[in-house]
Amino acid sequence: MSFKEGAEFKIRVKPKDDGNSFAINVGHDSENIALHFNPRFEENAIVCNSLSGGCWGEEHREGSLPFTRGEECKFYLSFNMEYFYIKLPDGSTMSFPNRLGDVKYQFFSISGDARIVGIKINGNLQEDSKRPDSRLRNVPLINYIPWKKEAPRRATQGVLEPVAAPFWASALRLSGEKSLTSCHTQKGRKQAQYATTMEKIMVATFCLRPLLRAERPPPPPPPPPPPLLPPPRLACAAQ
């Protein structure tokens, strides 16, 4: 699992009926946690902290607790190099400093009196800026069906060409949207590998041909029409 800057991490949890607290951890490993998100029912508060090299930092407390024992709920995480942003179940938001200062985290865990119902990362297209041709950046793909090989339609905005037919499967990878639960099955892993391979082929192909219609020479003007000749005059027969 990879959680990157600008992506949205959706988490659905269900606290236990008699639970006291639970915690969500995001970071590099168990000794380096960028976000320790810890709702505490006993204290009616949310406590956030970070762990660097096994040492805890300064706690940050939020005085309200929009979680209820025994009730399933969902909340969202996003971050950049400076802050984590948490959208709570009641729609309110809170922030916590990104003390590790990284833009990618691959460690996730939950502890305490709650169970995970589902998780999903809705990605972005910021990775396109690292591609060989940066003009692919922030080009949305619309009307695609996840894990299907049907042709997506690219929003060209009068600039980019439509996606070539052999590269339909790369739509899922470029959109950055994938259900994490599907990767737990053998079919999901094969589909993820297929999408990754097709993405590499698509990137290589776009590097070998121009993307902008403006780079193509304009077509030659049509030849002028031939001049119109007067109709022939007929000679009159002698009487």
**Residue pair 83/95 in contact by the 8 Å Cβ criterion:** yes
In this prediction, residues 201-209 reach a mean pLDDT of: 52
31-80 pLDDT, tens digit each: 999 999 999 999 999 999 999 999 999 999 998 899 999 999 999 999 99
C-beta contacts of 178-185 below 8 A and 24+ residues apart: 178/121, 178/123, 178/146, 179/120, 179/146, 180/1, 180/119, 180/120, 180/121, 181/118, 181/119, 181/120, 182/147
The larger pLDDT score, comparing residue 216 to residue 61, is at: 61
Half-sphere exposure of 191 (CA within 13 A, CB side): 20
Average model confidence (pLDDT) across the chain: 73
Inform me whether the pLDDT recorded for 92 exceeds 70: yes
pLDDT the model gives residue 228: 76
175-197 pLDDT, tens digit each: 343 433 344 455 555 665 665 66
pLDDT the model gives residue 222: 85
Inform me whether the pLDDT recorded for 167 exceeds 70: no
Distance (Å, rounded) from C-alpha 73 to C-alpha 24? 14
**Residue pair 151/168 in contact by the 8 Å Cβ criterion:** yes
What is the value of pTM for the model shown? 0.53
Distance (Å, rounded) from C-alpha 9 to C-alpha 1? 11
pLDDT the model gives residue 18: 92
How confident is residue 95, by pLDDT bands cut at 50, 70 and 90?
very high
pLDDT the model gives residue 194: 62
Q: In this prediction, what percent of the chain has a pLDDT beyond 70?
A: 58
32-42 pLDDT, tens digit each: 999 999 999 99
How confident is residue 123, by pLDDT bands cut at 50, 70 and 90?
confident
